[in-house]
Structure 1
Amino acid sequence: MRALLSFSVLSLAAVPVFAADPPSPILTTPEAKDVLTYADPKVARVTHVDLDLTADFTKHVMTGTATLDIDAQKNAKQIVLDDKKLDIASITDDAGNALQYAVGPADDYKGAPLTVQIGDARRIVIHYTSSPDASALQWLPPELTAGKTRPYLFSQGESINNRSWIPTQDSPGIRQSWSAKITVPAGLTAVMSAERLTPDGEPAADGQHSYRFRMDHNVPPYLIALAVGDLAFRSLGPRTGVYTEPAMLDKAAKELSDTEKMVTAAEQLYGPYRWGRYDILVLPPSFPFGGMENPTLTFATPTIITGDKSNVDVIAHELAHSWSGNLVTNATWSDSWLNEGFTVYFENRIDEAVYGRERAATLADLSWDDLQRDLKASDPAGTRLHGDPEGAYGEMDYNKGSTFLRTIEATVGRPRWDAYLASYFDRHAFQPQTTAGFLADLRKNLIKGDAALEAKLQLDKWAYQPGLPDNAVHVTSSTLAKIDEDRKRFDLGAAASSIDTTGWSTQEWLRFLNGLPRSQAPERLVEMDKTFGLSASPNAYIRCAWLQIAIANHFEPAIPAIEDHLTHVGRMLLIVPVYKALKDQSEWGMPIARRIYAKAKPGYHPVAQAAIEKVLGS
C-alpha cells in the first residue's frame, strides 16, 4: 500500500488566482525518495509556480520573477528548492518583505540547494536571472533556423534541467500547477506547454510583446516548456494543430495530418484526453530528442518530416505520454520505465488503430531488435527496469518495459488488459507512481489472488532482475521478414541493383542496413552508396544507419556525408551513434569526430553537447 501525504492549503495567500486543481499527493514510501532533488517535500513543497520573465536574446538569459505557493508543515520555517546556476537577486514574501536564503555547495549535474527561510510565509517571490549557459535553454542565432532571419529559443526540461531557469522543486514526484507571462522581442511568438491565454500577445515596454499561459492541472515540473521564435500555426483538426517556422509549415502540416485521428484512437483505448488541446511544435534541427511530451504542445524534431509518414510514430509516442508520463508519472527517475515503457506499448496500439496491425507489428519487431542490442551491450545490472536514477542502459526503459506490458497482454488477453489499463490511468490520474506501486495495483486489480497467473507473469523478475524473462513475447512482422530475405541475398553476393527498394519505409531500410555485417569490402560500399544513394539520403534515420557501416570500414568517400549529417542534425538518437562509431575507430575516427564536433557544437542543445562530450571524453 502506498503511503500518501498531501497537505491542506494553510493560508488564503497560498491560493492561486485561478481554479487550479488541489495539490496532488506525494509518495512517501522509501522507493519514492528522489535522490536527484534537494527538496524535502514532506516538510515544505511547492504547489504552484507563477513566472514573469523576459527573454533577453542579446545576453541569452531569462530575467524576472518566480512566485511560488507553498504547502508546509505547521512549524516549518524553511523550504529547499533546486537551483542550477541561477543568479538570485532577492527573495521576498508576497508583501515584499525580504527573506533570508542561502545557496549550498553545487554539484555539476544536480546543481545546488536553494534554502529559503520562509517563516510564516506561504507565498514567496524570487527575483532572478538564468545563466547564459542554462542547461535547459538553447538560444539559436537566425542562421540556425529555417527562416534564417530571426533568432529562436527553446527549452528542454527532462529530466532535471528546468532548475536551470525555474527555481522550484525539480522532481517528477512533486507535481505543481503553473502560470506564466513571457515577454519577448517584437516579431517573435512565445508558446508554452499550457493553455495559451493571449495567442497574439499583448504590447509591452520597449516595443516587446507579452504572452500569458496557464496550466491548471498539477504536472511534474520537467513538463514546463517554452519556445520563442518566428512561428506560424495551422489547424489539423478541432483540437489539434501544428506550430513551426513559416518555411516548414506546409510540409509539417501534411506529414502530421493524422494527428486528430491519433487522439481519437488513444481515447478509445484508454479514456479521455484531459489536457484540452493537443498541438505539435516542430522545432529547428538542434532539438536533441525525437519528441518531448510537454502537455498541450508536443515538441518534435524536424527529422520526422520525411514525406511518407513513416516516422509519425514519434507523434503517437508523445501523444501516448498524455496518459503514461503526464497523467501518471514516475515518482523518481529510477522508475522512468513507467513513463517510457508504458508509452512505447501505448504508442504501438495507437499505430495499430490508425495504420493497421502490420505497421504496428513492424514497429514492435524493430523494438525487439533494439532490445536485443541493448541486452548484449550492457552490463547485466543496467538491464533492470527499476534501477539507476537516470534510467536503464540504452533504450531498455522503452523496449524492455513495453515488452513486459505486451507479455501481460498476451497472457491475460487484450480485452482484460485494456480494461485494466484504462482503470489504472483513471485511478492514478495526476499522481506520481513507483514500480512497487504499479505492481501492487496490478496484483490488486488484475491478478486478484490468482496464484497461477502470478507465477506465469513473473512480475518481480521483470521489474527488479536483470536480463529478459523467458516468457517475453516477440511480435514478428511479415514486412520485415521479406526485408530479411533481401538482406540474406545481398549478404550472399546479390547485386545491390537486384534489391527492389521501391516504397521502402524508414523501418524497412533500418532493418536492412542494421542487419548487414559491419565488415564490408570497399567495392561493396561504393556499390551500395551509388545504387541506394545512402550518403545523400534526405532521411536522417537512413543516413545514420549507413554512416555507422561506412565508419566501421574507414570509407573515406563518406566523410563529407558524416560532416553534413553531424552539422545539420541535432537529435541525439541520430548523432550520438555516429560519434560513438567514430570513437570506436580511434586512430582513424577520433580526429574526424573532434574536428566535426568543434564545428557542430554551437548548433547542439546543451543536453546533446553533454552526451557527445561524454562519448568523446572531452
Structure 2
Amino acid sequence: IAAGDLVFEPISPRSGVWAEPAMVNKAAKEFEDTEKMIGAAEKLYGEYRWGRYDMLVLPPSFPFGGMENPRLTFATPTVIVGDKSLVSLVAHELAHSWSGNLVTNASWKDIWLNEGFTTYVQARITEALYGQEAAEMEREIDQTDLLNEVKDMSPADQALALPPLNERDPDDALSQVAYVKGAWFLQFLEQRFGREVFDPFLRGWFDDHAFQSANTDQFVEYLKKNLLPKNPTAVSDAELHAWLEEPGIPSFAPKARSRGFAVVDTARIAWLGSEQLPSNQVTSQWTTQEWVRFIDGLGKTVPVAKLEQLDKGYHFTGTPNGEIAMRWYPLAIRSGYTQAQPAAGEFIQKVGRRKLILPIYAELLKTPEGLAFAKEVFAKAKPGYHPITTASVADMIAKAEAAPKP
C-alpha cells in the first residue's frame, strides 16, 4: 500500500510510473524502455503473467533499490540519473516477475533461487536492450565486488545452498553471494551448454514451477533430469558441488571481461603516472559503470592533491549519482580529503538506501572525529530514514562506540 501526493504517467498500455508530481516526468523518461524490457523477457522466458507492470518511485529514504511487488514495483529515485545507466534496477525488479514472484524460493536458505536467477535474467534483459558490453560491464563490477565481499565472510555463508538458518535472522545470511554467485553459476551453465539449450531449459523451469515454491534440491533434480543429459560431459558432479556447496567462487568460473574497462584502466594508469587528467574526449561518453571502474581502481587511498585534481575536473563531491557517491566519499574520508566531508554528510542525510550510505558510515566510524560527525548527521537524518536503515546505522554506531580504543 502506498499513500501520498502521487500522479501516474503511462509508458505503454500495460506499464507506467506513479510518482510525486515533481518527479513523475523525469522518472517516466528514465524508465521509458520498460515495455521493451518486458518484451525482451517474454521472448526469452514466456508470457508476462501479471497483467500490468507499473512502478512507484518512492522518496530517497527508501532503504532498498527496489521491491518487486507483483504489478507494482517500489523503486528508489537514486537510479534516476538522466542517462539510463542505472535502469538495470528496473530490469532486475521486472525479472522477479519470473524468478521470485512466479517461482518462489521455498525458504530463506534457498534465496539464491530468487536473487541469483533474477540477476541472471536482469543481465539478459540488459544485453537485449543495451548490448553485450553494457551487460558485461555490470557483470564485471558485480563479480569484483563479490570477490572482495567474501574475503570477510564465514565459509558457510559463501555457499549457494545455505545450511538451515534455524533461529538466525535471514537478513544476516543474505549477501551478494545469493545475487552474484547465483547468477555466475547460471552463466557457467549457459556457457557450458550454449544458449540454444540453456534458454529453453530455464524457460521450462519457470513454466513447470509457475506459482509454486521450490528449493535447491528440487532445482538440482530438475537440472539433472532436463539439462545435464543434453550434454553428459559438459558439467561434472564435482563442478556442481563446487558451485552449490563450497565457499568462494570456483577457479573454473567464467570471468566477465569488459573491453570498455580496458580503456578506463589505461586512462587511470596514465593519469597516475603523468598527472594529466583523461581528456574530455575520452570521458564525455563514460557511463556510471565506467566511472565506478575508474574510482574502484584508484586503490585504498590517494594523495589529497590528486583527489583535489580529480574533483576539480569531474565534480565527484556533491554528485547526485549514488553509485559514484558510495565509492568517492569513502575514498575521500580514508585519504584525508576533508573538503568532501560536508557533502558526504548531506548525501547520507538525504538518502536512506542502505547500499549507498552504509559504506560511507563505515568509513566515518573508523576514527573518533568521524564517529562524532556520523552521530551528528544520523541525529538529523533519523526522522527521515526508514526504520530498517535506522536500525542498521544505529547498530554500526553502537559497535563503533563499544570497540576498544587504540
TM-score band w.r.t. shorter chain: over 0.9
**Alignment partner of 1:521 is 2:303:** yes
Instruction: Say whether residues 1:349 and 2:130 are aligned partners.
Output: no
Q: Classify 1:472/1:457 alpha carbon distance in 2 versus 1 (closer, same or farther; 3 Å).
A: farther
Report the Cα offset of residue 269 of structure 1.
0.6
2:146 touches 2:180 (CA, 8 Å); kept in 1? yes
CA distance in 2, matches of 1:487, 1:456: 42
Is 1:463 aligned to 2:244, yes or no? yes
| Superposition deviation, residue 432 in structure 1 | 0.7
Structure with more relative contact order (C-alpha pairs < 8 Å, separation 6 or more): 2
Counterpart of 1:533, as a letter, is: H
Based on CA coordinates, which of the two structures has the bigger radius of gyration? 1
Question: Residue 256 of structure 2 aligns with which residue?
Answer: 475
**TM-score (ref. length: structure 2):** 0.93
Query: Does residue 1:567 correspond to 2:342, yes or no?
Result: no
Match of 1:250 in 2: 25
- Are residue 263 (structure 1) and residue 38 (structure 2) matched? yes
The corresponding residue for 1:315 is: 90
* In structure 2, C-alpha distance between the alignment counterparts of 1:399 and 1:415, rounded to whole Å: 23
- Secondary structure (helix, strand or coil) at the match of 1:470 reads coil
Percent identity for Structure 1 against Structure 2: 46
For residues 229-282 of structure 1, what are the alpha-carbon distances to aligned partners after superposition, in whole Å with 9 as ceiling and x for unaligned?
110001100100000001101101110100000000000010111101000111
Hey, what does 1:430 align to over in structure 2?
Answer: 211
Q: Secondary structure of the residue that 2:54 maps to in structure 1?
A: strand
2:32 aligned partner, one-letter code: S
- The alignment status of 1:399 with 2:174, answered yes or no, reads no
2:200 to 419, 428, 441: 419
Query: In the alignment, what sits opposite 1:300?
Result: 75
Name the counterpart of 1:277: 52
Could you list the per-position Cα deviations for residues 374-422 of structure 1 after superposition, in whole angstroms to 9, with x for gaps in the alignment?
Answer: 1223232221112254364631111111100000000011110001000
- The answer for unaligned runs of 5 or more in structure 2 is 400-406
**Cα 1:253–1:449, aligned 2, differ >3 Å: closer, same or farther?**
closer
Matched residues in 1 for 2:171 and 2:22: separation? Answer: 37
Counterpart of 1:343 in structure 2: which amino acid? Answer: T
Q: Residues 379 and 588 from structure 1, CA distance in 2 versus in 1: closer, same or farther, beyond 3 angstroms?
A: farther
Alignment partners' CA distance in 2, 1:323 and 1:457: 29
1:597 to 374, 378, 385: 378
How big is each residue's C-alpha offset from its partner over 1:462-518, in whole Å with a ceiling of 9 and x where there is no partner?
111111112211121111121111122223243236474212111111111111112
SS at 1:272 equivalent: coil
* Matches of 2:64 and 2:72, distance apart in 1: 15
Q: What residue is the counterpart of 2:329 in the other structure?
A: 547
Decide whether the 8 Å contact of 1:443 with 1:449 is kept in 2.
no
Name the structure 2 match of 1:558: 340
Q: Flag the structure with higher helix content.
A: 2
User: Which amino acid counterpart does residue 310 of structure 2 have in structure 1?
Assistant: M
| Structure 1 runs (4+) greater than 4 angstroms displaced | none
Q: Give the letter aligned to residue 298 of structure 1.
A: T
Q: Deviations over 1:515-563 (max 9, x none)?
A: 1112211211211111110112121221221101011123211111111
Q: CA contact under 8 A between 1:255 and 1:307: conserved in structure 2? A: yes
Determine the structure 2 residue equivalent to 1:239: 14
1:341 alignment partner AA:
G
Cα 1:590–1:291 shift into 2, 3 Å:
same
C-alpha RMSD of the superposition: 1.7
Number of aligned residue pairs: 392
Q: Quick one: distance in 1 between partners of 2:144 and 2:272?
A: 19
Task: Confirm or deny: 8 A CA contact 1:334 1:390 kept in the other structure.
Answer: no
Q: Secondary structure at the match of 1:492?
A: helix
CA displacement at 1:461 relative to structure 2: 1.9
* Distance change >3 Å, CA 541–CA 567, structure 1 → 2: same
Unpaired segments of 5 or more residues in structure 1? Answer: 1-225
